[in-house]
Chain A
Amino acid sequence: MKVIEINKLNKIYNESEVKVHAVNNVTFDIEEGEFTAIVGPSGSGKTTLLNMIGGLDIPTSGEVMVGGSLMSSLKGADLTDFRLHNIGFVFQAYNLIPVLSAKENTEFVMRLQGKSKKVCDARTKELLKAVGLGERMNARPAKLSGGQQQRVAVARALASKPKFVLADEPTANLDSKSTETLLDIMEKLNREENITFIFSTHDARVVKKARRVITLEDGKILSDVRKNGGE
C-alpha cells in the first residue's frame, strides 16, 4: 500500500535574483513499511524534499499525496492537525523540550491529540522501553546523552502512531556507537511494527542499513535502489 505518492514535485527558491531549483521534477512513491534513505551531497535538496513531504514547505509545483490526501489542499490548522495525526518527525538537533522529562516529551504529541493520561502512560512506557530508555523516563534532556535524546525523539515521533516517520539527518550529531544503537532501534521498529521510515542523510552507516536508497543530486533523482531487488 502506498503511503506517499510524489508526482512531478518542484521547489524553486527565488532568492537574491538567482533562481535555485532545490527539487527538480521529482516523482516517486513510498510503500508502507519501507525503510528509505534519501541521500546526496549538501544542497542536493534532501531536506527540502523531506519538508515538502512533511507539509512544512510548499512546493512550487507538483503533488504530494499522503495516505490519499493531497497535502497542498490542506491549510493552517488543518495542515497542523494532519501532521499531528499522520507524520512523525525526528530532527537533526533532537529538538526536545528542555523543561520536560523524557516521558513528558514522548507523550507530548499524544496529549496534543487529546489522548487520555492512561493511554499516554502505557504507550510512553512501551516506546521508551523499546528505545532502551525505560530506566531514564524521568530524566530531562540535559541529563541525557545526544544518542539518548535522539532515541527520545524517535519515541516521540512514534507516539502518535503516524503513517510514517520523517527523519532529517538523525545521526548527524551522534557518535558511531550512538548511531549504531539508534539505527538498530529504528530498524527493529520497522521490521517488527512495520513502521515506515524516511531519512535524509549522507551518513554511510544509515545508507548501509536502509533497504531503499534514493540518491538526489541538484534536486533530481539520480538513482532509486531497493536493496532486495530491482531499481
Chain B
Amino acid sequence: MITSIAWKNVWRNKSRSLVVIIAVTLGTVAGVFVAGMLNGWVAQRINDVIFTELGHVKIQNPDYLVNEQASHYIANISELEQYLKHSKDVVAYAKRSKIMAMASTARGNSGIMLKGIDIENEKNVSGVYKQLLPGSGSYFEENSRLPLVLISSKTAEQLRLKNYRISNHTTDSLSMLNVPQETISKLTPIKDERFITRKKFESAIKGLWSDSEIRSYGPHLMNTAAYFQPNAKITFSFTKANGQIGYLTCRVSGVFKTSNNLFDQTSAFVNHTDLINAAGLQPDQFHEISVILNPSVKDIDPFIKSSSNQFKNLSFLSWKVLAPDAGLMADFIQVYYYLIMGIIFFALAFGIINTMLMAILERVKELGMLMAIGMKRKQVFSMIMLETIFLTLCGSMVGMVLGGLLIKITEHTGLNFSSVAEGFESVGWAATVYPAIDLSFFFGIIILVVIVAVLSSIIPARKALKLKPIEALRTE
C-alpha cells in the first residue's frame, strides 16, 4: 500500500516530477556516456600497452634497467625459455635484442631504440605488424640487399622521410569528400611540389586556403598528401658490445603508427640476426623477453612472484609497473566512473530535495490526516523515501537506456578526436575512442541512485516527521 501510494504521489504533479526526471535522465546519460568513453579509452590504452608495446610481463637483466648497455643481456636464456614453454600461464613470448642507436638520413637524425626481433614470432606478442600505414610498405616482406627496418611515422617525420605532395590521388580524395571544386582548385599552384616537412606544407596551404577551409578539410588533406619515401635508407650508429662504434644501414620496409607517440618515437624494429651481426652480439644474447599470459590469468602478480623466485637474477615486471598511467587507470577506473556519477547525482540531489520539499509543503494537511487516522511516522518516512527513490530511479533508468544506446551506436563507429590527436597520442591515448561499458556498471548506478535518493529524502522526510497531526490538520 505504501509503495503504491508513493508511486501515485510521484505523478500527482506531473510537470514538476517530469522536470526532475528529465534532469536526472540528462545527468545519467551524460555520466554513462562519459564513463563509456573513459572506459573505451582505458580499454584501448591497456590493449595497446599489452599487445603492442610491452606484453603482460617483461623480463630483463636488472642491470639493463639501470644502464641500457648491450652487455647487460639475459643470462642463461635457454633455462628461462624452458620455463616459459612449460608454464601453463604463458601463451606466447618474444625475445628481443635492444641497442640504443642514432638513426640518420641525409636530411635528419633521431635517437632511437633499435629492437632486434624474430620477425614471425614477434607477431605473437606485438601487434605492430597490424599497424602499418597504408602505402608505406610491408612487414619485412620487401626484397632487399640491405637489412630491412620498420620505423614509425613519427620517426619518418623526424628523419624527413615523410613528405607531402598534392597529387591526383589527393585531389580525387578531396573530391570524394565533397570538398568544393573551387577549394580544390586553389591547390593547383603547389600541385606535385614536394614538401619535406609538415611545417613547410602547412605554411604553403595557409597561403592558399582560408582559415575555415583549413579547419574543415585540413586534417584530411594532411593525411592524403603525406607519403613516405619508398625504399629510403637509414644508417644507425651505436656502441657495440665490445665498446666500439658500430653501424647498420637499413632500407625502410614499412612505417607503423600506434596510438602512443612516445613508443613510436623510440622504437624501430630490425631482424635479430642483422642486429647481432652489426652489434657484435652472440645469437643467444637478448635484452628482454615480452610475455603474453593466458586470458584466464586475472592476477599477474602470482606469476611474477613465482617466476622471480625461480630466476632470482632476473627482473620480472608487469605492464602495470612499466606503464603506470595505464596501470593506475586499470586499477581505479571503476572509482573514476562512480566519482563522475557521484558528482552528477550530488548536483542533482539538490533539485530532488527541492522538489520533495515542495511536495511535502503542498501536502501538510494530508500528511496530518494520515498520521491522525493511524499512519505511523516510520510509514510516513518510508512513503516519502519511496517517492524520492521512484522519482530518481525513473530518470536514471531512462538515462541508462539512452546512455547505453548512445554507447551502442558509437562503439563501432568510434568518436574521432583527430583535431586534438597530437595531444592525446603524445600521452599514449588513442585519438579515436570506441565507447564501451560493462553491464555491472549499470547495477552500480542503480545502487548509487538508491543511495542518493535515500539521502535526498532525509531532509523532506524529517520535515514531514516534525509535523504534528493536530497542527497539520489546521493548515489551509
Contacts and interface: CB of A to CB of B under 8 A. Distances in A.
B5 A77 contact: no
Interface in A38-54: 51, 54
A109 B373 contact: yes
B5 A100 contact: yes
B437 to A, nearest CB: 37
A183 interface: no
B376 A80 contact: yes
A57 B473 CA distance: 12
Given A97-B366, A99-B8, A57 B470 contact: yes
The size bracket of the interface on A is 20 to 34
B376 A156 contact: no
B12 A99 contact: yes
Contacts of A56: 372, 469-470, 473
B9 interface: yes
Interface stretch (A12-20, A81-89, A129-137, A184-192): A81-89
Interface in A110-124: 111-113
A89 to B, nearest CB: 5
A174 to B, nearest CB: 18
A112 B375 contact: yes
Given A51-B470, A77-B377, A111 B12 contact: no
Interface string B329-351: 00000000000000000000000
A98 B12 contact: yes
Contacts of A57: 470
B466 to A, nearest CB: 14
Contact of A84 (B12, B374, B469): B374
Contacts of B176: none
A56 B470 CA distance: 6
A89 B372 contact: yes
A160 B374 CA distance: 10
Interface string A91-107: 10101011110001000
B372 A54 contact: yes
Interface string B368-396: 01111111111100000000000000000
Contacts of B5: 97, 99-100, 108
A100 B375 contact: no
Contacts of A112: 1, 373-376, 379
B210 to A, nearest CB: 62
Interface string A127-154: 0000000000000000000000000000
Contact of A83 (B9, B373, B473): B373
B1 A83 contact: no
A99 B370 CA distance: 13
Most buried by A among B369, B373, B377, B379: B373
A80 B377 CA distance: 9
Given A56-B473, A81-B376, A99-B9, A108 B369 contact: no
A83 B365 CA distance: 18
Nearest to B370: A97
B470 A83 contact: no
Prevailing SS type, chain B contact patch: helix
B470 A109 contact: no
Contacts of A83: 372-374
Contacts of B378: 77
A40 B366 CA distance: 27
A89 B372 CA distance: 8
Contacts of B469: 56
Contacts of B365: 93, 95
Nearest to B369: A95
Contacts of A108: 1, 5, 373
A77 B376 contact: yes
Nearest to B371: A80
A14 B4 CA distance: 42
Contacts of B370: 97
Interface string A59-94: 000000000000000001100110111000101010
A127 B373 CA distance: 17
A99 B4 CA distance: 10
B6 to A, nearest CB: 10
B8 to A, nearest CB: 4
Contacts of B8: 99-100
Nearest to B374: A84
Contact of A156 (B1, B373, B377, B470): B373
A156 B9 CA distance: 20
A19 B473 CA distance: 23
A56 B368 CA distance: 10
Given A98-B12, A99-B9, A89 B373 contact: yes
A54 B374 CA distance: 11
B369 A80 contact: no
A74 to B, nearest CB: 13
A84 B473 contact: no
B473 to A, nearest CB: 7
Nearest to B375: A112
Contacts of B1: 108, 111-112
A89 B365 CA distance: 14
A91 B11 CA distance: 25
Interface of B: 1, 4-5, 8-9, 11-12, 365-366, 369-379, 469-470, 473
Closest 4 pairs between A and B when the two form their complex, measured CB to CB: A84-B374, A99-B8, A111-B1, A95-B369
Given A56-B372, A83-B374, A99-B5, 9 more contacts: A51-B470, A54-B372, A56-B470, A77-B376, A98-B12, A104-B4, A112-B374, A112-B376, A113-B374
28 contacts: A54-B372, A56-B372, A57-B470, A77-B377, A80-B374, A80-B376, A80-B377, A83-B372, A84-B373, A84-B374, A85-B374, A89-B369, A89-B372, A91-B369, A91-B473, A95-B365, A95-B473, A98-B366, A99-B8, A99-B9, A99-B11, A99-B12, A100-B5, A109-B373, A112-B1, A112-B373, A112-B374, A112-B375
